Chain A
Amino acid sequence: MPVVKADLQACQGYANCVVGATDYFDLDDDGIVVVLRTEVPETDRLRVTEAARSCPVTALVVEDA
Chain B
Amino acid sequence: MSDATVIVGSSIGGVRTAQSLRLEGYTGDIVLVGEETELPYDKPPLSKAVLAGTAEESSIRLLTGGDADAARIRLLLGHRAIGVDIAGRTLELEGHEPVGFDNLVIATGASARPSPWGQRPGIHVLRTLEDARRLRADLLSGGHLAVIGAGFIGAEAAATARSLGLDVTVIDPLPVPMSRIFNPEIGQWFGDLHRSNGVRTIFGTGVESLEGEQGSFVLRLTNGERLNASVVLVGIGAVPNDAWLASSGLLVDNGVVLDEFCRAVDAPAVYAVGDVARWRHLTHGEDTRIEHWTNAVEQASCVAHNITHPGAPRAYTPTEYVWSDQHDWKIQVVGRVGGGASHTVIGHPEAHGRFAALYTADGTSLRGAAIVNWPKALVACRRGMATGITVQELRDKLESQLDPQPVVAS
Interface residue ranges, A against B (CB under 8 Å): 12-16, 18-19, 22, 26-31, 46, 49-50, 53-54, 56
Q: Closest CB of chain A to B232's CB: distance in Å?
A: 29
Extra A-B contacts (11), CB below 8 Å, given A19-B319, A22-B386: A13-B330, A14-B323, A14-B332, A15-B332, A19-B382, A27-B379, A29-B376, A31-B378, A46-B23, A50-B23, A53-B297
How many interface residues does chain B have, given as a range? 20 to 34
A49 touches B386 (CB 8 A): no
A15 touches B375 (CB 8 A): yes
A19 touches B376 (CB 8 A): no
A16 touches B294 (CB 8 A): yes
Task: Tell me if B111 counts as interface (CB < 8 A to partner A).
Answer: no
In the complex, chain A residues whose CB is within 8 Å of the CB of B183: none
CA distance A50 to B24 in the complex (A): 10
Contact of A56 among B294, B319, B383 (CB under 8 A): B294
A18 touches B332 (CB 8 A): no
Task: Tell me if B44 counts as interface (CB < 8 A to partner A).
Answer: yes
- When C-beta atoms are compared, the residue in chain B nearest to A55 turns out to be B297
CA distance A25 to B25 in the complex (A): 25
In the complex, chain B residues whose CB is within 8 Å of the CB of A31: 330, 375, 378
**What are 19 inter-chain pairs, A to B, with CB distance below 8 A?**
A12-B330, A13-B378, A14-B323, A14-B332, A16-B321, A18-B379, A29-B375, A31-B330, A31-B375, A46-B23, A46-B24, A49-B23, A50-B20, A50-B23, A53-B19, A54-B297, A56-B44, A56-B293, A56-B323
Interface centre among A15, A31, A46, by most B CB within 10 Å?
A15
Given contacts A16-B321, A54-B297, A56-B44, are A30 and B375 in contact (CB under 8 A)? yes
Given contacts A54-B297, A56-B293, A56-B294, are A18 and B382 in contact (CB under 8 A)? yes
In the complex, chain A residues whose CB is within 8 Å of the CB of B298: 54
In the complex, chain B residues whose CB is within 8 Å of the CB of A26: 379
Task: Tell me if B136 counts as interface (CB < 8 A to partner A).
Answer: no
A19 touches B386 (CB 8 A): yes
Q: Closest CB of chain A to B68's CB: distance in Å?
A: 15
Q: Closest CB of chain B to A10's CB: distance in Å?
A: 10
Task: Tell me if B10 counts as interface (CB < 8 A to partner A).
Answer: no
How does the 8 Å CB contact mask read for B313-335 relative to A, with 1 for contact and 0 for none? 00000010101000000101000
In the complex, chain A residues whose CB is within 8 Å of the CB of B23: 46, 49-50
In the complex, chain A residues whose CB is within 8 Å of the CB of B194: none
For window 209-246 of B, CB contacts with A under 8 Å fall at: none
In the complex, chain B residues whose CB is within 8 Å of the CB of A13: 330, 375, 378
In the complex, chain B residues whose CB is within 8 Å of the CB of A54: 294, 297-298
CA distance A48 to B376 in the complex (A): 21
The 7 closest A-B pairs by CB, nearest first: A31-B375, A13-B375, A27-B375, A54-B297, A27-B379, A19-B382, A15-B378
CA distance A49 to B71 in the complex (A): 15
CA distance A22 to B20 in the complex (A): 20
Contact of B301 among A15, A18, A30, A50 (CB under 8 A): A50
For window 286-304 of B, CB contacts with A under 8 Å fall at: 293-294, 297-298, 301
CA distance A31 to B298 in the complex (A): 22
A27 touches B294 (CB 8 A): no
B376 touches A27 (CB 8 A): yes
Task: Tell me if B16 counts as interface (CB < 8 A to partner A).
Answer: yes
CA distance A10 to B20 in the complex (A): 23
- When C-beta atoms are compared, the residue in chain B nearest to A46 turns out to be B23
In the complex, chain A residues whose CB is within 8 Å of the CB of B20: 50, 53
In the complex, chain B residues whose CB is within 8 Å of the CB of A53: 16, 19-20, 297
- When C-beta atoms are compared, the residue in chain B nearest to A32 turns out to be B375
CA distance A29 to B375 in the complex (A): 7
Contact of A18 among B16, B294, B330, B383 (CB under 8 A): B383
Q: Closest CB of chain A to B285's CB: distance in Å?
A: 22
- When C-beta atoms are compared, the residue in chain A nearest to B61 turns out to be A58
